[in-house]
Amino acid sequence: MSPSPVLPPPPVYVAGIGADGWSGLSGGAREALREAEVVIGGARQLDLLPPECAGVRVAWPSPLRPAVPRLLAEHRERRIAVLASGDPMFYGIGRALAEELGPEALRVLPHPSSVSYACARLGWPLEDTEVVTLVGRPVSRLAVSLHEGRRLLALSADASTPATVAALLTAHGFGPSRMRVLEQLGSEAEAYVEGVAESWAHAPGDRLNVIAIDCRASADALRLGAVPGLPDEAYEHDGQLTKRHIRAATLGALAPAPGELLWDVGGGSGSIAIEWMRTHVSCRAVSVERDPARAERITRNADRLGVPGLRVVTGPAPSSLSELSELDVPDAVFIGGGLTAPGLLDACWEALRPGGRLVANTVTLESEALLAERYRTYGGELTRLAVAHAVPVGGFTGWRQAMPVTQWSVRKPSPPASLPGDRT
């Protein structure tokens, strides 16, 4: 007798639910929830279900993400439905479930997200509206999106978020911005309040809210553009700062792309790593700085300029790099200081992934000789960058030359592709 085939476990249904609760669900979502033997969701979401959903109700614990594998495994042979806020695949639990089970094991039943509701109420085109989530994330990450005339939607963590956002806008020179807080979108209790950030005085309202921001800068706000080369005065520093024009050229050579990781070795004020991360929300960076005071300064700069996710490692290079290379392989490495430290350049080159980029800057003859030697060995580009600024000379104006910077940029070769029939 042949063995019975092993049947795959039933798919996991992921149903989006809004503030309107059961009445706002589609027929397919209601059917999935009625037939589920286990329903997993937040306590507030579970309370929205009627008695006809007879499955065992399991509330997500906190922290949620580590509990996902355990709860799914515990109930895997039963019919599972998971409740999510709005669209499960938009900053929702759907991502974690897809990573854990694979997309083929899911049946996602989306509901309009709070962002869709907000744009509908405001008359804002969704494709022209930037969304920043502050749920479980620092409010400072909103700073990177502040530009005159932009429309932003901030997903609130709780009822206190609007006041915190108003304070951040004011501190960054965007106090004149109009704010509207939209609560309980899609439900019968839907409401909103509005005001100006610098005079925001509304008491905390409902914790389910979205903040709409019409960005308006004050006349004296420091202008921070969307490309590398922020003004030097945007940074707190002690002189250890890659200056604006050299920084723009350096980021151009590093060529950041979405999702890539940078090691910034000899971080100074953190400007290279910070502006790398500002190019795209998914860009990541680690700044290595041996001086503890400077390392703390890098953290403050990153927080103020909207990239609080910058990781700062305090310690000397290259010894601090060995631990980093065990965690993730960098796509690019910038060396802004300490080039003559024994083994530093070799350690950075070895850590770099094939196809990755290395850029090193120096102003000293000793380090320049080292870069020239590596240029002869590995190729790439060796460039002399010189910048002069106009300054008063008595009653006239003349040029003041900054120290020239020698820059070596190189791409690490990828291993040759194997040809058909090759044997190793």
Nearest to 415 by CA among 375, 356, 355: 355
Structure tokens, 280:
């795209």
Q: Which one, of 385, 156, 348, 340, lies nearest residue 250 by Cα?
A: 385
The pLDDT mean for the chain works out to: 93
Question: What was the pLDDT predicted at 1?
Answer: 54
Q: How confident is the model at residue 64 (pLDDT cuts 50, 70, 90)?
A: confident
Residue 232, φ and ψ in degrees, nearest 5: -60, -30
- Greater confidence (327 vs 243) lies with 243
Q: Is the pLDDT of residue 419 over 50?
A: no
pTM of the model: 0.90
Q: What DSSP designation does 208 have?
A: S
The answer to whether residue 326 scores a pLDDT higher than 70 is no
Q: In 3D, which of 383, 382, 386, 384 has the Cα closest to residue 400?
A: 386
Residue 76: predicted pLDDT: 84
Q: What is the mean pLDDT of residues 235-246?
A: 94
% residues pLDDT > 70 (the chain): 96
pLDDT band at 420 (very low <50, low <70, confident <90, very high): very low
User: Residue 249 — very low, low, confident or very high, per pLDDT cuts 50/70/90?
Assistant: very high
Does residue 423 register a pLDDT over 50?
no
Q: What is the pLDDT of residue 2?
A: 57
Sign of the C-alpha dihedral computed for residues 299, 303, 308 and 310 taken in this order = negative
Residue 26: pLDDT band by 50, 70, 90 thresholds? Answer: very high
At 44-54, the pLDDT tens digits run 999 999 999 99
C-alpha closest to that of 138 among 300, 248, 29: 300
